[in-house]
Each structure stands twice: as C-alpha cells, then as structure tokens.
Amino acid sequence: MSERDDVRLADRPEAVAVAAAAPGDGSSGAPRWASAAVPAVFVVLWSSAFVAAVFGTGAAPPLLLTFARFALAGVLLAAIALVSRSPWPRGRMLLHVVVVGLLMQAVQFGAFYTAIGAGLPGGVVALVQGFNPVLIALMAGAVLGERITRRQWMGFGVGAVGVGLAVAGELSVSVSAVLLCFVGLLGLSVGTVYQKKFTQGTDVRSSTAVHFLASAPVIGLLSLLLEDQRVSDWGSFGAALGWIVLINSVGTFLLLNMMLRKQDASRVGTLFFLTPSVTALLGWLVIGQTLNPLAIIGLALGGCGVVLAVRR
C-alpha cells in the first residue's frame, strides 16, 4: 500500500480502525452478484450517516448526540481491542493519541453535527468533509515535505471552486453553520497529519478507542454548558444513535474490510468521492432535503476536483 493510499484511508479513522480489527470477511462462498453489490451498499450506508445525523439532531441537541455516539462507540471499540488483546498506547504516545482523537473526533464531529443541526444539508457537509484529502495533501507538502504535482494543484483549484459554490448556495441557512463545517474539516485534516507524524505504529483498534473515550467527556461538558439537555423525541434519537453507532461505526467498516481484502486500497478509496452526491440524493429521498442549483453544481465540481487532486 502506497503512502498516498494511507492518507486516503486516514481520512476515515474509524474505518481504518474497524477494518484492521475486523475478523475475516467470510465471503469466500458468496455469490458473484453479492460481491459486486458490496461497493454500492457501502457507499449508501456510509452516506446514510449524514441523514441519520439530521434525524438525531432534530430530536436532541447536536453535541448531546455527538457525546452519546462517542461514548457508545468508544466502549464498543475498547471491547474489540481488549478481546483481540491489542496493545494500548502509553506515556507520551498516549498523549499524542489523545490529541489526534480530540482533533479528528471532537472537533470534526462536534462541528459537523452542530452545522447539520443548524439546517445545513448533509450533502454540503459531506462535500466539505470530502475535501479533506486535498487539504491533507497541502498540509503534507508543508509539514511532511511531500511533493505536490501540477495535476494536484489543478484539482485543488477545481475542488475549491466547487466547495465555494456549494457553501455559497447555503449561506442563507446559516453563516455560522458553514463556518462550523470548515472548522470540522480543519480538525479532521490537522488531526490526520498529526497522526501521520506522531502516532505511526500504534494499534488502530486501541488508539481509536482512546480517540472516542477522550473526546466523549469534552463534548459532554460542552453539551452541558451550551445546550438544553432535552430529548424531544426518544424514538428518533434512539434510532438515529443506533444507526450511527452500529451501522456507521461497525457495519460499514466490516464491508470496508471485505473490500480491502479483495481490491487495491486506491480503488476502494475512490468510493468516498461518491459520498457527497449520494448523501444529497438520500437527503432528498428520505427527508425531502433539497439543494439549490448552485450547490448541485458545486457538488459536481468539488467531486471532480478531489478526484484530480488525489488520483495517482
């Protein structure tokens, strides 16, 4: 696996963690049509996390939902790490892992969920998150000394225009929500580069459990200070939380593990480029969430830009 493949998969830290921790896929006897359907099912399930967040933030404050997700997913991954006897980070390495977790989990999802709770469409949030490989490449060039090619610079430009058009079309929703989206992107990207520089070699199962468990109390405290701790619809809240934790924090990563066993990481990584468009489609089908024409054009340009920027 190349260094750039590592960066692509590092965009989704939970995916790396559970994929590495998951047992064999057990799909050797699966019919060919089932194996062929796995990528499409994976993209739909991954994209559904943004729609589930809309339901969850509609029933409870966004930081409360984020705290519940971190707490449950942290316990679940800690159990996986203990059962598999994964080595846990210690000393200074533990501090580095905590910093990565606060950036990639607390900052990213705290900001993204709050933006979704403020009414920003999931497709736009997914597009901003999908711009992560571009920002990582820029940071890696400055911090890690990695070379950026002319085609990458072209992709950065096209992608930036796409993201700009998409978020400009949603400024009427909330300027603060759009800003929060970019705060979440910055947390994810800085955390990924920090992880690449300081926490190489740690076990992904135990380290990701630390990410969640370190982020949960921080988000929980912010929720206590800034939000009204009231769940208006326990049914919607429980369903959204269960989907996010079990489907988006376990199920999709088992599918990812299956694909990584059968295909090149670079090929699997391209599936994430479909997430913004599929998220926008799911948002329209499930909850009637529509995008204005400017945002749709932005989604298309943003996806093309990211493909140009990260393609080998």
| 3-class SS string, 82-135 | HHCCCCCCCHHHHHHHHHHHHHHHHHHHHHHHHHHHCCCCHHHHHHHHHCHHHH
In sequence order, which residues have a C-beta less than 8 Å from that of residue 290 and are 6 or more positions away? Answer: 121, 284
In angstroms, the Cα distances linking 282 to 47, 54, 176, 275 are: 8, 11, 24, 10
CB 148 within 8 Å of CB 277? no
Dihedral (Cα; 191, 195, 196, 198), 10-degree rounding: 130
The pLDDT of residue 69 is 93
CB 279 within 8 Å of CB 257? no
Element (H, E) at 177: helix 175-198
DSSP for residue 12: S
Sign (positive/negative) of CA torsion 124, 125, 130, 135? Answer: positive
Average pLDDT per consecutive 10 residues, the chain (312 residues; last block may be shorter):
44 44 44 67 85 91 95 91 91 94 93 91 80 72 66 74 69 78 90 84 85 95 93 93 86 65 57 74 77 74 69 58
Question: Looking at this protein, which amino acid is placed at residue 237?
Answer: F
Element (H, E) at 236: helix 234-242
Q: What is the CA radius of gyration of the chain?
A: 18
CB 50 within 8 Å of CB 121? no
Q: Give dist(CA 6, CA 22) in Å, integer.
A: 18
Taking the model in full, what pTM does it have?
A: 0.77
The pLDDT of residue 4 is 44
The pLDDT of residue 208 is 85
Which ranges constitute the DSSP H helices of 140-251? 150-168, 175-198, 204-226, 234-242
**How many CB atoms sit inside 10 A of residue 32's CB?**
7
